[in-house]
Amino acid sequence: MKNNIFLYLFVFTGLVALYLFVSSGKLVKANDATIEKLRAENVSLQDSVQELNIKILDVQHFSLENNDYALENYVHLNLEKPERYIADKLLETNERKGDNPLVPYEGMQGEFKINKINVLNHKWILAEFTDGKHWGEMILDYELKDDLGVDFTLQSHLLYASTF
């Protein structure tokens, strides 16, 4: 009887070991497939990040921040971020009651205010304005003076005919 128990224990242990061996082989294959899938996805995501970085550099090409030639005009003013200073001065024109004086339209659903600004170089600004329902864009000339005053001059503008 004792021998039979040991025989059954030995056979049972062997079956458990065989089961664990087979299932671990399947688990390793499944993990390898998952790892390969994740590696391929990682390569794809790295390519996407690289493409987006190139697009960002293209978009930033036309900005004062990345234009060393234009920034040379402001070295004597000791401004840490001239682009931010100029944008802030333009946004200050929104503080007046009523429509922004640089926007050549009267607000239809409210007051037209400038909400997005792109300082292109040491002479031009591209700005977007809205009254909350209607949208438009304008190109401004500007001059940053030695006393840190800024003069803005409207050059061109448009108001989109329809809104979404």
Higher pLDDT, 4 or 164: 4
Q: Which two tokens stand for residue 134?
A: 């209607």
pLDDT band at 164 (very low <50, low <70, confident <90, very high): low
Indicate whether 37 pLDDT > 90.
yes
Higher pLDDT, 149 or 64: 149
The string of DSSP codes covering 37-87 is HHHHHHHHHHHHHHHHHHHHHHHHTSSGGG-HHHHGGGGGGT-S-HHHHHH
Question: Lowest-confidence range among 41-50, 58-67, 76-85?
Answer: 58-67
Tell me, what amino acid is at 163? T
Segment 76-81 mean pLDDT: 88
- Specify the DSSP class assigned to residue 93: G
Q: How much is the mean pLDDT over the chain?
A: 88
Q: Hey, where are the domains in the chain?
A: 1-60, 64-159
Indicate whether 30 pLDDT > 70.
yes
Q: How far apart are CA 98 and CA 109, in angstroms?
A: 12
Q: Which two tokens stand for residue 14?
A: 């062997």
- Residue 45 has what pLDDT? 94
Neighbouring CB atoms inside 10 A of 157's CB total: 16
Q: pLDDT by residue (tens digit) across 7-20?
A: 888 888 888 888 88
Determine the 3-state secondary structure of 19 from DSSP.
helix
Indicate whether 163 pLDDT > 60.
no
pTM: 0.67
pLDDT > 70 fraction of the chain, expressed in percent and rounded: 97
Strands 135-144 and 150-159: antiparallel
To 10 degrees, the CA torsion angle through 104, 108, 110, 115?
-50
Q: pLDDT by residue (tens digit) across 101-141?
A: 899 988 888 889 999 999 998 899 999 999 888 899 999 99
Q: Which helix (H) or strand (E) holds 113?
A: strand 113-119
